[in-house]
Amino acid sequence: MIYQRACDIVTDEVFLEADDVLPGIHLFLKLEGMNPAGSVKLKSAVGMVDDAERKGVLWTGGRIVESSSGSLGIALSVIAASRGYDFTCVTDPNVSPQSLALIRALGADVVQVTRRDHNGGYLGTRIARIHEMIDADPGLVWLNQYANPANAQAHARRTATSILKNIGHVDVLVVGAGTTGTLMGCTRHFRTFSPWTKIVAVDTVGSVTFGGPPGPRHIPGLGTSRRPELCRPDQVDEVVLVDESDAVRMCRRLARERGLPLGGSTGSVLAALESMTDRIPAGSRVVALSPDMGDRYVRTIYDDDWVADTFGTHVLDPSGRHPVAV
């Protein structure tokens, strides 16, 4: 297939059958990192920009600002370069060095906050900074991925539809929760077209999205220090909280044992699934979303020194594991 713009290359049909990763279940890993932006966030970005264009809020030469811990920032940078927009990404110290370098390489500006918000994260500070920028420059267009219905709609229309088209019957769907756009979009579609599917949301220990106590987090992707407006906790069947150290172990295990380097969110999703195996009937068809690949994490998750400094040397032992909180 021939495309006219990089941002139009949305690969939504790549699934890895991974029955041998977790025993007793038929696991399909939906690999979302096979596009120019390298993550599931390209669909969110395209959906929100298309919506803003349709509403006449955004046009060629317009200036976009958005908060991101990395992946959406890259996706919006790809779109801005392809469609002729200026883009400023407001991020924080948890962004991976590779993501930060790529955002800049794509021509976007970066504003990096360093002050933590009242829950110990950076999201509140990033959003406050955007409000300051808009007050100073009303011409900026904030897409607001945390509250924008077009974010969730993109995943109802594309991600969830692709799962049912390619996999058919799905007993369990496991989705990581960041902005919850992917989660809420998939939930909306599945509740209509596959109401029997159990939907499991995966979050990280220290995130307040589903009412847990705030705590330090080091890996971008999952978790928030402020519940996104899109989030509807009552729409999911189960929430599993995963310690980041277990996500790291899972990522490193898959890379070394399966030749599959994946991002931290995928490690969290699969660690959550591993903790649930006794609650999933044998032979169940399970789909897990893998938002991105592992190349952006070679200096963090896959770096021994970073892991030891951040979590302790015991995390380098693949046999160790912390309990997963539910």
CA pair distance 248, 266, nearest whole angstrom: 10
* pLDDT at residue 173 tops 90: yes
The stretch 198-225 carries a mean pLDDT of 94
Assigned CATH topology for domain 41-142:
Rossmann fold (3.40.50)
Q: Using the predicted structure, report yes or no on whether residue 296 has a pLDDT greater than 80.
A: yes
Q: Do 6-34+149-316 and 41-142 have matching folds?
A: yes
Percent pLDDT > 70 in the chain is 97
pLDDT in tens, 260-286: 999 999 999 999 999 998 999 999 999
Question: Is it the case that residue 325 has pLDDT exceeding 50?
Answer: no
pLDDT digits (tens, 9 = 90+) for 32-66: 999 999 999 999 999 999 999 999 999 989 999 99
Which pLDDT does position 23 carry in this prediction? 84
**Architecture of the domain spanning 6-34+149-316:** 3-Layer(aba) Sandwich (3.40)
The domain locations on the chain are: 6-34+149-316, 41-142
Of the candidates 65, 39, 69, the one whose C-alpha atom is nearest the C-alpha of residue 52 is 65
How much is the pTM? 0.93
DSSP letter assigned to residue 160: I
pLDDT attached to residue 24? 87
Q: Mean of the pLDDT values across residues 186-200?
A: 98
pLDDT in tens, 93-152: 999 999 999 999 999 999 999 999 998 889 999 999 999 999 999 999 999 999 999 999
Classify residue 168 as left (phi > 0), alpha (psi -120 to 50) or beta: left
Contact residues for 65 (Cβ-Cβ < 8 A; gap 6+): 87, 88, 89, 90, 130, 133, 134, 140, 141, 142
CA 81/CA 242 separation, integer angstroms: 36
Mean pLDDT of all residues in the chain? Answer: 94
